[in-house]
Amino acid sequence: MIRVTVPSVARILCAQNRHWKSHGHARSTNVTVALSSVADDATRKTWFGDYHLLFCAKFGEQLRLELIVTNHGTSTFRFEEALHSYFHVGNAAAAKLRGNGAAYIDKTDAQRERHQHGDVVLSAETDRITATRLPRLKSKIPRRAAAYSWPRKNSRDTVIWNPWSEKSKSHVRPWPRRVRHFVCVETCNVGDHSINLAPTQAHTMTALISLGTL
């Protein structure tokens, strides 16, 4: 899932709810899929930005995710961005993310700042932002143990999310039966690290996701 949010005064554009055009795929030794979304009359009624978004997913030994935001307008705009990566795990409560000593903002507790001691282990609804990179997720997928890793470029934040059982019942997506089998780890730039983009400039955020064994 791709999310680009553009706040301007009280006006917000959320690109994940916009139409994305498929540009097919290119095949060499790997397969690349490209999607794009651009400003139109509807978006200009709620927000003044003239943007172009290009999302590329390259499938090979690694999964390369790349989001390119270009400002085609005449004014600088500011935006947040996130690549929502949902990692399949056998048991979310048994998965571990490296996080010793990392400060984070707890969105489930009035945006309070806290510090993580030891690995991050999920035991309840989790929604946190940390400026520390968490490069490895250890989990036990049925019949095997696995480790995900995802080096990033031009990403200063990580979001860890799982609605857990109670929250998932009221969620717009059908999470209840799946909630204990995934961890969402987002490559992003949010809050104080949101991006200012001047006219004609482009910003590229990249995540390289690998699956290995423990």
The CA distance from 147 to 168, in Å, is 26
If you average pLDDT over residues 167-191, what whole number do you get?
Answer: 73
Q: Give the pLDDT confidence score for residue 68 in this predicted structure.
A: 95
Residues of the domain holding 144:
2-213
Helix segments in the chain, DSSP class H:
41-46, 164-168
If you average pLDDT over every residue of the chain, what do you get?
Answer: 81
Q: Give the pLDDT confidence score for residue 139 in this predicted structure.
A: 72
Q: Give per-residue pLDDT as tens, 60-118.
A: 888 999 999 999 999 898 889 999 888 888 888 888 887 666 789 999 999 999 988 88
Q: Give per-residue pLDDT as tens, 2-46.
A: 566 655 444 455 666 677 788 766 666 778 889 999 988 888 877
The token pair that represents 126 in the structure block: 């989790």
The answer to whether the beta carbons of residues 124 and 185 sit under 8 Å apart is no
Distance set, CA 7 to CA 41, 46, 112, 131 (Å): 18, 10, 22, 21
CATH number at residue 59: 2.70.98.10
Residues 6 or more apart whose CB falls under 8 angstroms from that of 63 comprise 57, 208, 209, 210
Q: Give the pLDDT confidence score for residue 3 in this predicted structure.
A: 62
Give the count of domains, the chain: 1
Residues 6 or more apart whose CB falls under 8 angstroms from that of 173 comprise none
Q: What are phi and psi of 151, to 5 degrees?
A: -60, 145
